[in-house]
């Protein structure tokens, strides 16, 4: 039975033996148990599966996006018929593409005469 607040899961015997071998042969890695090794591995995997970009807020002339990989906020501006990422200093980058796929942004830009398809500006307002 696992200790209170813990759940037990099953791992292939060979994997557990390999982890035990790594812990034994590489003490400098700092793992004290198979469990601590597995927890560290799963934490990394959970981190990897988080979305890289996340919508933070929408303003009159820009949108703020959370870039989890770079651990920072990124502003994408829509000014004078132009789209611009302050981080990449580009009109086309992962941030502008992400911003153009946010329904609320698409709606606001369409009202101003922009035409957007699949994360790309097809036509800017005149």
* Half-sphere exposure of residue 82: CA atoms within 13 angstroms, side-chain side: 8
Q: Tell me the three state secondary structure of residue 91.
A: coil
CB of 91 to Zn ion, least distance (A): 10
Q: Find out whether 83 and 91 touch, Cβ atoms under 8 Å.
A: yes
Among 16, 66, 93, 108, binds Zn ion (CB under 5 A): 93
Decide: is 20 part of the binding site for Zn ion (CB under 5 A): no
Q: Which C-beta is closer to Zn ion: that of 35 or that of 64?
A: 64
CB atoms within 10 A of CB 114: 19
Q: According to the binding rule CB under 5 A, does residue 66 interact with Zn ion? A: no
Q: Which residues bind Zn ion (CB under 5 A)?
A: 85, 87-88, 93, 95
């Amino acid at each position: 039975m696992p200790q209170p607040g813990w759940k037990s899961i099953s791992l292939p015997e060979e994997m557990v033996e390999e982890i035990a071998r790594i812990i034994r042969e590489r003490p400098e890695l700092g793992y004290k148990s198979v469990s601590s090794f597995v927890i560290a591995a799963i934490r990394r995997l959970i981190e990897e599966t988080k979305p890289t970009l996340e919508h933070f807020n929408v303003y009159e002339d820009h949108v703020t996006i959370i870039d989890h990989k770079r651990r920072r906020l990124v502003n994408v501006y829509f000014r004078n018929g132009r789209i611009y990422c302050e981080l990449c200093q580009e009109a086309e980058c992962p941030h502008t593409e992400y911003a153009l796929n946010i329904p609320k942004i698409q709606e606001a830009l369409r009202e101003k005469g922009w035409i957007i398809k699949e994360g790309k500006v097809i036509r800017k307002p005149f």
